[in-house]
Amino acid sequence: MVIVRTIKQMQEAKKGLFGSIGFVPTMGALHQGHLSLIQQARKENDHLVVSIFVNPTQFLEGEDLNAYPRKDEADIKICELTGVDILFMPTVDAMYEADELCIGAPAIRGYVLEGEKRPGHFDGMLQVVMKLLNLSGANRAYFGKKDAQQLALITQMVKNYFMDVTIVPCEIVRDEQGLALSSRNVYLKDDEKERALSLSRALKHATKMVMAGERDVASIKAQMLEVLSEADKVEYVAIVDRAFKALETVEIGNTIILVAAWVGKPRLIDNLWV
């Protein structure tokens, strides 16, 4: 494995790769969720590129940019052990210059749910993903369904900008109790961890209702909110189609149920595709 930190080094390292390139972009503090993407990319490609970059442009004023968990040494070991060929760990200065050209999230799909609660987040996310996809030379890039709206917007960017890369959606990895893994889970204290389970419980409850034949979005959301009463603050419960348009009736095979809530320090998100 080579670790590269500059754009030039990344471009040079890529020249030595013949065959397909799989790419997994991350912000580090790697956990089993990241690992499942890395392992899938390893299996499906000749070469594997992983990036670790805590991208400042996708954090809003007052968010946890400076406190974002970092564990570079452990991350490097994990990448070595999982067969990563190139680990790209750039500095902020290497990635950005002042007065940059920017990509904007689409006016509707980019400004509902996460985009509404975190205005500007998706602009910064798309900007860095565009750079990383170009640099990595990826044939396939792997993203978690955990960040469902992010995944949808990246897929749209690739389509709208005619980019020659396949976006591969990957399943959400959870702990044994059902909590979706996230680098930010380290902020949860013991009693908060229990209450954080209310997100996945609410989603499980919604699945049960759908399996029992309920299709009415308002009824499902009302019951989900009851389960979510253990969270400190619910930001949204939403039931949308795969293009992120709000639904009144669940459409089997075309629906995503999403929740965002604060429990203690972290803001948690989770979702379920039905």
**155 vs 88: CA distance, rounded Å:** 22
Q: Which residues are known catalytic residues?
A: 34
Contact in structure between 202 and 208 (CB atoms under 8 Å)? no
- Residue nearest ligand AMP (C-beta atom): 144
The DSSP result for 142-197, as a single string, is EEEGGGHHHHHHHHHHHHHTT---EEEEEPPPB-TTSPBP-GGGGG--HHHHHHHH
Choosing from 82, 156, 183, 185, the residue that interacts with ligand AMP (CB under 6 A) is 183
**In terms of CB distance, is 158 or 180 closer to ligand AMP?**
180
**N residues, the chain:** 274
Rule CB under 6 A: is residue 27 a binding residue for ligand AMP?
yes
213 phi/psi in degrees, rounded to 5: 105, -5
Q: Tell how strand 140-144 and strand 21-26 pair up.
A: parallel
Quick one: which segment of 71-79, 166-174, 219-227, 233-241 binds ligand AMP (CB under 6 A)? Answer: 166-174
Rule CB under 6 A: is residue 59 a binding residue for ligand AMP?
no
Contact in structure between 2 and 70 (CB atoms under 8 Å)? no
Choosing from 23, 59, 122, 143, the residue that interacts with ligand AMP (CB under 6 A) is 143
**In terms of CB distance, is 87 or 180 closer to ligand AMP?**
180
Interface with ligand AMP in residues 235-254 (CB under 6 A): none
Q: Which residues bind ligand AMP (CB under 6 A)?
A: 26-27, 33-34, 36-37, 143-144, 146-147, 170, 172-173, 180-183
